[in-house]
């Protein structure tokens, strides 16, 4: 009986001991971080929330209480100290962090850290190291990445590292991404053959020699600036080594003249030896040459098999013409959808979705938002399906669930940049985003070849169709007045600022901001879509089609930045104000314009008459505000990225804007119709993924 009574007390003691252990662990982590803080310099006070006696992790939901601290289930897993103006010798400060056993991510991007590469070797649990855009220098020890069996992502770009690239990188088994661009590395590229490696950028260094065969399909832009590299990837054949000089054949033996009697005894003269040596040498040469051809052929076959198994950056695998990739019926469905989205049987439309999902019920939908009604993949496949349109990345369907709402299913073909683990982690991250001007991600479906993303259906059209659509005589075009356009600009800017705040680890948090990716809600409130997809899109495909890759800095220096989103916002504002399609979005099938140069070429006093959209209803009092927004747009589109406005400055200026005419309405000014009912001549391809 006494033992029974003591049981609750024992349990309470065990829980108390566990709590004390957790608190002690948290305090130990705090001590390590505070020591790190004392070693570095924080002139802007960005780490002021790091206070002794407090817990770096606030709770078990992954919310970091200290700035820049990444926690999961109450445990510290990473540091994300980016763009904080921090400085100091990083090698000394990182040494203090080795006492954090659960550390998985280190990101010190865009700071002023100096000194040599910090010692991270034998950190078996480390998965990501981001040190780009600092002032780190010197040679990196060859064994710098030894014993890092979990490491997946390494970004050392835009520093001053020199010497050879560490060969220990070739022995990191799970490496997915490697960026070493814009340094002073010299020597040859290590033989990187990791099966899942899909991003390698070594541009603008001093590398030389042959590009390893494992990287032969990497885009040539990722080798730019290395004058002495050679190989198929850069179109510069390596010099064939001069074969060693063959020794001269021995002189033929001299025949000794026979005596007359011996000459008569011989019925026929024996041919001299040199006459028989020529065909023998030819046979030997042919055999050797044939063996070489066989070896080369075997190597080519092996490399082709490797190319089929592993996607190397720049070559989407498998081919779109492959039956393994998509069916003929599905390709035909997509082509028909470009002009006849409502043509075809219901079974044919469902076939496209079923093909995208890999057949009937192969897998399950994963929901990323709490409180949403759950449904299964087979519910989507059984529902009535309608092809909304196709774009550069895939096909978009509207699926009406039995006794439920309509959902939009977007099928992506070129989304193989990451493995399953990283893809699902990124989808969960997107599922946590919540902003009134973002179209939320509801669920996703993962298959190696293709992915499905599920969103709510928005019955209104996209901004692109509202600005440029041709609806025909029986369906007059809706035009947007100044209050409606300002409302759209403010909502889009607010959502973009939210993405930059919530996803600071992304180089370009949106990446694909344009009018066809801005849907309009019931009150014409903007809903941004297709955001934050660059991390999972195939790099070559993203570089060809995504808006941020059309920015001036991408063309000038070969890379994008967070200001690429600012440029996209500026171009969107110019499109809204002028009613013209910008050059980078000419695929909409309309006459396009270089909006920046065109607006700058018109005298400012003539902007109202020549630049602004003549269909935009406005009062005379509003023109001052409209022209002010035009100036903000041009400041966001500044070609020189250093002179271009920061996003915060642009958003603050936009928020200060007023409609100027006292009209607070947000409705279309003229030609109002029920926008939820699409006419037969509507071009719905603007809602597709493009």
pLDDT: is 235 or 511 the higher one?
511
Residue 80, token pair as written in the block = 């994300």
pLDDT: is 123 or 271 the higher one?
123
- For residue range 335-356, what is the model confidence (pLDDT) as tens digits? 322 222 222 334 444 444 554 4
Mean pLDDT of the chain: 74
Residue 519, token pair as written in the block = 């849907």
Please state, in angstroms and rounded to a whole number, the distance separating the CA atoms of residues 550 and 544. 9
- Structural domains of the chain, ranges and CATH numbers in brackets: 13-234 (3.80.10.10), 324-457 (3.30.200.20), 459-690 (1.10.510.10)
- For residue range 80-104, what is the model confidence (pLDDT) as tens digits? 898 889 999 888 778 778 778 788 8
Max mean pLDDT range (168-182, 325-339, 659-673):
168-182
Residue 11, token pair as written in the block = 């349990």
- List, as one string, the DSSP characters of 265-284: H-SSPPPPHHHHHHHHHHHH
pLDDT: is 191 or 686 the higher one?
191
What is the pTM for the complete model shown?
0.50
Cβ proximity of 450 and 412 under 8 Å: yes
- For residue range 31-63, what is the model confidence (pLDDT) as tens digits? 888 888 888 999 988 898 899 888 888 644 444
Alpha helices in 404-551, H assignment, sequence order: 420-431, 463-468, 482-502, 539-545
Q: Which element (helix H / strand E) includes 520? A: strand 518-520
Give CA separation, 352 vs 329, 413, 591, in Å. 8, 13, 32
Please state, in angstroms and rounded to a whole number, the distance separating the CA atoms of residues 514 and 463. 9
pLDDT: is 319 or 279 the higher one?
279
Q: 410 labelled as ligand-binding?
A: yes
3-class state of residue 477 by DSSP: coil
Tokens 């694909």 — which residue? 512
pLDDT: is 9 or 310 the higher one?
9
Please state, in angstroms and rounded to a whole number, the distance separating the CA atoms of residues 542 and 584. 14
Over pLDDT 70: what percentage of the chain?
Answer: 69
Asked if the bond preceding 318 is cis, omega within 30° of 0, the reply is: yes
Give the Cβ contact number of residue 79 at 10 Å. 23
Please state, in angstroms and rounded to a whole number, the distance separating the CA atoms of residues 83 and 62. 22
Give CA separation, 575 vs 516, 570, 662, in Å. 11, 9, 24
- For residue range 257-267, what is the model confidence (pLDDT) as tens digits? 444 444 444 44
Burial of 358: CB neighbours in 10 Å, binned 0-12, 13-18, 19+: middle
451-456 and 406-412 as β-strands: parallel, antiparallel, unpaired?
antiparallel
Q: Which element (helix H / strand E) includes 114? A: strand 112-115
Give the Cβ contact number of residue 600 at 10 Å. 12
- For residue range 486-514, what is the model confidence (pLDDT) as tens digits? 999 999 999 999 999 999 888 899 999 99
Lowest-confidence segment of 77-81, 145-149, 413-417, 464-468 by average pLDDT? 413-417
Local confidence band at 610 (pLDDT 50, 70, 90 cut-offs): confident
Beta strand spans in 347-506 (E): 366-367, 384-390, 394-400, 406-412, 441-446, 451-456, 479-480
Lowest-confidence segment of 35-49, 163-177, 372-386, 533-547 by average pLDDT? 372-386
């Amino acid at each position: 009986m006494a033992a029974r009574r003591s049981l609750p007390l024992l349990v309470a003691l065990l829980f108390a001991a566990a709590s004390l252990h957790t608190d002690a662990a948290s305090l130990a982590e705090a001590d390590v971080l505070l020591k790190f803080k004392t070693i570095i310099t924080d002139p802007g006070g960005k780490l002021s929330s790091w206070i002794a006696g407090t817990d770096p992790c606030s709770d078990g939901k992954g919310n970091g209480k200290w700035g820049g601290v990444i926690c999961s289930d109450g445990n510290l897993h990473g540091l994300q100290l980016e763009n904080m103006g921090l400085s100091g010798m990083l090698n000394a400060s990182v040494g203090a962090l080795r006492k954090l056993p659960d550390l998985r991510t280190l990101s010190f991007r865009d700071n002023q850290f100096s000194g040599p590469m910090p010692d991270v070797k034998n950190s078996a649990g480390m998965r990501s190291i981001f040190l780009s855009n600092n002032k780190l220098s010197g040679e990196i020890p060859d064994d710098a990445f030894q014993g890092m069996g979990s490491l997946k992502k390494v970004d050392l770009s835009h520093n001053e590292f020199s010497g050879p690239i560490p060969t220990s990188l070739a022995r990191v088994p799970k490496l997915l991404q490697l960026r070493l661009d814009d340094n002073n590395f010299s020597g040859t590229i290590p033989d990187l053959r990791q099966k899942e490696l899909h991003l390698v950028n070594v541009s603008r260094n001093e590398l030389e020699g042959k590009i390893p065969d494992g990287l032969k399909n990497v885009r040539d832009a990722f080798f730019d600036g290395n004058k002495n590299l050679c190989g198929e990837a850069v179109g510069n054949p390596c010099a064939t080594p001069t074969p060693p000089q063959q020794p001269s054949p021995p002189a033929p033996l001299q025949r000794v003249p026979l005596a007359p009697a011996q000459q008569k005894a011989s019925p026929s003269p024996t041919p001299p030896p040199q006459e028989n040596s020529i065909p023998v040498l030819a046979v030997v040469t042919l055999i050797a040459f044939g063996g070489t051809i066989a070896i080369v052929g075997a190597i080519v076959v092996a490399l082709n098999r490797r190319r089929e198994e592993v996607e190397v950056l720049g070559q989407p695998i498998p081919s779109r013409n492959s039956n393994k990739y998509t069916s003929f019926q599905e390709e035909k469905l997509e082509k028909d959808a470009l002009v006849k989205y409502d043509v075809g049987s219901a079974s044919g439309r469902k076939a496209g979705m079923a093909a995208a999902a890999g057949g009937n019920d192969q897998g399950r939908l994963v929901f990323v938002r709490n409180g949403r009604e759950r449904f299964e993949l087979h519910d989507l496949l059984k529902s009535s399906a309608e092809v909304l349109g196709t774009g550069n990345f895939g096909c978009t369907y509207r699926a009406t669930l039995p006794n439920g709402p309509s959902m939009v299913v977007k099928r992506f073909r070129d989304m193989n940049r990451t493995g399953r683990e990283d893809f699902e982690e990124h989808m969960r991250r997107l599922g946590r985003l919540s902003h009134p001007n973002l179209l939320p991600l509801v669920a996703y479906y993962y298959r190696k070849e293709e992915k499905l993303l599920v969103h709510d259906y928005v019955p209104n059209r996209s901004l692109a169709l509202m600005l440029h659509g041709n609806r025909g005589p029986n369906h007059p075009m809706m035009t947007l007045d100044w209050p409606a356009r300002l409302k759209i600009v403010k909502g889009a800017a607010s959502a973009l600022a939210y993405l930059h705040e919530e996803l600071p680890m992304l180089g370009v948090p949106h990446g694909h901001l344009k009018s066809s990716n801005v849907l309009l809600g019931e009150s014409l409130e903007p809903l941004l879509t297709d955001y934050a997809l660059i991390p999972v899109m195939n790099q070559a495909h993203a570089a060809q089609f995504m808006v941020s890759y059309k920015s001036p800095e991408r063309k000038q220096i070969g890379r994008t930045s967070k200001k690429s989103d600012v440029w996209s916002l500026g171009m969107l504002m110019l499109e809204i104000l002028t009613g013209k399609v910008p050059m980078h979005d000419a695929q909409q099938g309309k006459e396009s314009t270089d909006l920046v140069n065109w607006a700058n070429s018109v005298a400012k006093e003539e902007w109202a008459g020549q630049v602004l959209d003549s269909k935009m209803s406005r009062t005379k009092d509003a023109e001052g505000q409209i022209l002010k927004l035009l100036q903000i747009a041009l400041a966001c589109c500044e070609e020189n990225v250093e002179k271009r406005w920061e996003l915060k400055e642009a958003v603050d200026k936009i928020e200060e804007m007023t409609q100027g005419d006292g009209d607070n309405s947000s409705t279309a000014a003229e030609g109002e119709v029920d926008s939820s009912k699409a006419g037969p001549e509507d071009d719905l391809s603007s809602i597709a993924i493009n």
